[in-house]
Amino acid sequence: MAVINGGELVIRTLYKAGVERVFALHGAHIETLFQACRGHGIGILDTRHEAAAGHAAEGYARAARRPGVAMITAGPGFTNVLTSVANAYLDRTPVLYLTGSAALGEAETNTLQAGIDQVAVATPITKWAHRITTPAQLPRLTALALRIAATPPMGPVLLDLPMDVLTAGINEEDVTIPDTFLPDAPPAAPARIVERILALLRQAQRPVILAGGGVWEAGAGTALREFAECSGIPVYSDFAGHGLLPADHPLYGGTTHKLADLTDPHRPDTVLILGTRLGLFTLGGSDMLIPAAAKVIHVDTDAREIGRLRDVDLGVAADCGEVLTALNQSAGETDWPDYTDWQQGIAAAKTARREQFTEILQRTEAPIHPYQAVSAVIDNLPENTIVIGDGAESYHWLNEVIQQKEPGSYLTHGYLGAVGFGLGLAMGARIARPDRPVLCLTGDGAAGFGISEFDTMVRNRLPIVTVIMNNSSWAASQHFQEAVSGKENLSGTQLGAARYDEVAAGFGGYGEYVTAIDRLGPALRAAFDSSRPACVNVAVDVAPLPPEIGLLMSRH
């Protein structure tokens, strides 16, 4: 009768669930997990900081549409990963955090990396957090954790694994690895509700669809496109939903903030919200994006989101994929109004927004305007590149030009507003999709959080290209400070003109410093051609304010 340890039981369960890669930073408390991963061929991306391991698991989950797994040691390892846990919680990202902790038999002994109730700390920022105290329960509870994480509304879970539980021996015949990890059927909407949705849309003169991460999570991009093309209803998206409809599709209006470009009387009168939460990225319940008089149909797996910030005419707690499938069964037989004028008005608004930047694109003087920089980045991306947007202002500039054609390929900020996660997300996305190039665009402030992860990328041969928008400033904070306290009272918002490209090269990557716009395209192409982790450090102007930031400031 073979005796195995608790760490082996955890990893056998992950292996049976189809986990192929985990993200981690080693510590003695989780050594059994590392050795079991070796024994089962589960790859480990070992980072330089626990936060990066957590963010990489997030990036993997968002790009692969399946749970990411992070293994983190006790004490400071746990506290270091908390920003990732909170980020995953607010963005409903399915991540399983396996955290080591001091042995149960050493409770209240002032031992190493102990004295913190890790479950109590994690409970408010997870869907479920639990300490496993018996080795025999490890498979059942690990399977349960995966199911909770991956069941909509998705989110992070944390299993706290005491060291003596992971090292304890148990007869393998005495435990069973579960076969069931996920439910077989998502929640659907009744036929009468689907008919009400169709009726409200048929009555509309200017309907739009707001497609969000819930559509991507449901794997319903094709169904969304089919419904939009059949009905003729234009589509806007949140960032997680960008690419569900290709950005160059004639029915795609842009990301949600672009709704503010529509003016009376050419604004939506009916809005079908699919898997998008009202809040930060829709300017809350404000009518700046969705008119107060517009009829609202809101579909989300989480009933708490329906009516959270404004009343709805129809609330549907169901899976977006199931709802779209049902809509498509009747859409072809529906007598839809002619929305040509409405579609053309939205297309004209998109054109007018781009034309605002025509003169900026003609600039030749230094420093480079941020809009010029992000435009050059988009113009020089290899086909099917996954783009990561980081930085408090850099990603707002990127939002102006992002043109993805596939869902799950633009990963950027969520509701926590944390900066510095970009390199972690990029590594997770690259592991999830090794067939696709990955670019991370970030600011110089955000880059400093995880600059050592260039070492991780070099060691693991991850040819990720990072573009750093370097304005020697915490620009978002500087602009806030200028508005509130005056330009003459800047404090704590200035940075040096650091050579991040040389840091990347020092770790064994490729680096290039760009100060002229005509050099940015060639530098990007050279970075991708290097087939190494690369950093293109771009000197940009700190003065310009992204239009999205201006919109947010105008609301307040």
Residue 70 lies in a domain: yes
> Would you call the peptide bond into 463 cis, given omega within 30 degrees of 0 as the criterion?
no
Q: Which two tokens stand for residue 197?
A: 């949705």
CATH code at position 303: 3.40.50.1220
| Domain match, 416 and 286 both | no
From residue 242, give the alpha-carbon distance in Å to each of 75, 404, 548.
Answer: 38, 7, 16
Same domain (yes/no): 479, 376? yes
Residues 384 and 308 both lie in one domain: no
My answer on whether omega of the bond before 153 falls inside 30° of 0, hence cis, is yes
Would you state the pLDDT for residue 555? Answer: 59
In this structure, are residues 468 and 443 in contact, taking their beta carbons and an 8 Å threshold? yes
**Do 271 and 295 touch, CB atoms closer than 8 A?**
yes
Q: What is the pLDDT of residue 284?
A: 82
Write down the pLDDT at residue 162.
98
- Residue 554 identity (one-letter amino acid): S
Does residue 180 form part of some domain? no
Residues 217 and 159 in one domain: no
Distance CA 142, CA 179 (A): 12
Determine, yes or no, domain membership for 186: no
Q: Distance between alpha carbon 118 and the CA centroid of its chain, in Å?
A: 25
Is residue 155, in this structure, part of any structural domain at all? yes
**Whether residues 152 and 19 fall in one domain:** yes
Assess whether 527 and 432 both reside in one domain: yes
Among 299, 327, 350, the domain-final residue is 350
Among residues 315, 335, 350, which one ends one of the domains? 350
Q: Quick: pLDDT tens for 421-468.
A: 999 999 999 999 999 999 999 999 999 999 999 999 999 999 999 999
Enzyme catalytic residues: 29, 50, 113, 417
Cα radius of gyration rounded to whole Å, the chain = 24
**What per-residue confidence (pLDDT) applies to 554?**
64
Q: What is the pLDDT of residue 549?
A: 81
CATH number at residue 93: 3.40.50.970
Residue ranges, the chain, pLDDT below 50: none
Q: Is the domain of 439 the same as that of 422?
A: yes
Q: Say if residue 391 is in the same domain as residue 265.
A: no
Listed in sequence order, the DSSP H helices in 126-240 are 138-150, 163-167, 191-202, 213-217, 221-231
Q: How many domains does the chain have?
A: 3
Q: Report the alpha-carbon distance of residue 401 to residue 174 in Å, rounded.
A: 57
Q: Report pLDDT for 110.
A: 86
Q: What residue numbers bound the domain in which 411 lies?
A: 356-555
Beta carbons of 301 and 317 less than 8 angstroms apart: yes
CB 270 within 8 A of CB 206: yes
DSSP H or E segment with residue 482: helix 475-485
Clarify whether residues 441 and 340 are in a common domain.
no
Q: What would the pLDDT profile of 265-289 be if each residue is shown by its tens digit?
A: 899 999 999 999 999 888 887 788 9
Are 341 and 436 within one domain? no
